[in-house]
């Protein structure tokens, strides 16, 4: 969490952006930026899925198995 704050110039708007990102993750929106970051960091040579395809793939997974929704 701290490194993000260190690199930003406007802490307030960065804070809001982080809060919104957290909110998105809580309601279950797949995090594309994180995925791209991960691919660049760990698999530099590999092809990165475009955003649309990534989202489609994540959603198919989310709604394709039990264990993401309860009574």
Partner 1 sequence: MHRLRSTLAWTAVALAGAGSLAAIALARGEKVSAAWLLVAALCVYAIAYRFYSRIIAANIFALDATRATPAERLNDGRDFVPTNRWIVFGHHFAAIAGPGPLVGPTLAAQFGYLPGALWIIVGVAIGGAVQDCVILCSSLRRDGKTLGEMAKEEIGPVAGYTALVAVIGIMVILIAVLALVVVNALKSSPWGIVTLGLTIPIALFMGVYLRWLRPHRVLEASAIGLALLVVALYAGRWVAGSPSLAPIFTFDGPTIALMVIAYGWAAAVLPVWLLLAPRDYLSAFVKIGVVAALALGIVVVLPPLEMPAVTRFVDGTGPVFAGKLFPFVFITIACGAISGFHALISSGTTPKLLESEPDARLIGYGAMLMESAVAIMALIAACALTPGVYFAINAPVALLGTTAATAAEAVQQWGFVVTPDQLAQLARDVGESSILSRTGGAPSLAVGMAHLFSAALGGSGALALWYHFAIMFEALFILTTLDAGTRVGRFMLQGLLKHAWEPLGRVSWYPAVLLTSAMVVGMWGYFLYQGVIDPLGGINSLWPLFGIANQLLATVALCVGTTVIIKMGKARYAFMTVVPLCWLTVVTMTAGFLKVFSRDPKLGFLAHAELVQETLDAGLLPLGAKTVADASRIVTNDRVDAFVAAFFLASVIVILAASLREWWAVLGGRKPAVSSEVPYRPRTAFASGD
Q: How far apart are CA 22 and CA 29, in angstroms?
A: 10
Q: Alpha-carbon torsion 41, 10, 19, 24, what sign?
A: negative
Token look-up 């919104």 returns 20
The minimum distance between CB 70 and partner 1, in angstroms, equals: 5
The minimum distance between CB 38 and partner 1, in angstroms, equals: 3
User: One symbol per residue from 12 to 51: x for binding partner 1 (CB under 8 A), - otherwise; what is it?
Assistant: --------x-xxxxxxxxxxx-xxxxxx-xx--------x
The answer to whether 35 and 63 are in contact (CB under 8 A) is no
Residues that bind partner 1 (CB under 8 A): 1-3, 20, 22-32, 34-39, 41-42, 51-52, 54-71
């Amino acid at each position: 969490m701290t490194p993000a704050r260190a690199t930003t110039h406007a802490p307030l708007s960065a804070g809001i952006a982080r809060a919104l990102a957290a909110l998105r993750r809580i309601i279950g929106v797949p995090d594309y930026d994180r995925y791209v970051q991960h691919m660049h960091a760990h698999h530099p040579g590999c092809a990165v899925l475009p955003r649309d395809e990534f989202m489609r793939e994540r959603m198919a997974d989310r709604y394709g198995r039990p264990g993401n929704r309860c009574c």
